[in-house]
């Protein structure tokens, strides 16, 4: 990971204290895709029956959560599958997230999500990647 992809802290952003993440955060230029609705099993995407996805830019990351920029609001307490793309990793991290808060920000929304620990996701790999990024900082 390079300095261009991550930085430490949340400088010049006093409103960040309103979320409750206890983990240290890294400012990140990365992307996350939230799966808002699942597609029908066995139905090809070209039939128009695939799930609904929301592409978000990531503002900051921690081992336990993400802060996202979204074009539309996301329902509070929603449990959503997510794919998180970080620059130095060839494959996305498949995670399960819980929407903790969502608030308007200019012409978009800021969304706070908590990463749910699950054996069926890349949770352990995610925690290791965040730890490695912090060690490089």
d(CA 15, CA 67): 12
What is the pTM for the complete model shown?
0.74
Site of tokens 């993440």: 21
Per-residue pLDDT reduced to its tens digit, 43-100: 544 444 467 999 999 999 999 999 999 999 999 999 999 999 987 788 999 999 999 9
Q: Which two tokens stand for residue 8?
A: 């430490």
Residue 130 phi, psi dihedral angles, 5° rounding = -65, -40
**The CATH homologous superfamily of the domain defined by 6-11+20-38+59-136:** predicted glycosyltransferase like domains (2.40.10.220)
94: exposed, middle or buried (Cβ count in 10 Å: 0-12, 13-18, 19+): middle
Contact (Cβ atoms closer than 8 angstroms) between residue 30 and residue 58: yes
């Amino acid at each position: 990971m390079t300095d261009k992809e991550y930085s430490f802290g949340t400088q010049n952003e006093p409103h960040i204290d309103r979320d409750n993440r206890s983990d240290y955060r890294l400012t990140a230029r990365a992307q996350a895709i939230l799966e808002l609705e699942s597609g029908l099993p066995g139905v090809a995407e070209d039939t128009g029956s695939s799930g609904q996805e929301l592409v978000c830019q990531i503002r900051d990351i921690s081992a336990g959560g993400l802060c996202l920029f979204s074009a539309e609001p996301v329902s509070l307490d929603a449990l959503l599958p997510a794919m998180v793309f970080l620059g130095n990793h060839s494959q996305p991290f498949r995670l399960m997230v819980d929407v903790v808060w969502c608030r308007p920000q200019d012409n978009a929304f800021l969304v706070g999500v908590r990463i749910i620990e699950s054996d069926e996701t890349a949770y352990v790999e995610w925690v290791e990647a965040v730890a490695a990024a912090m060690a490089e900082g």
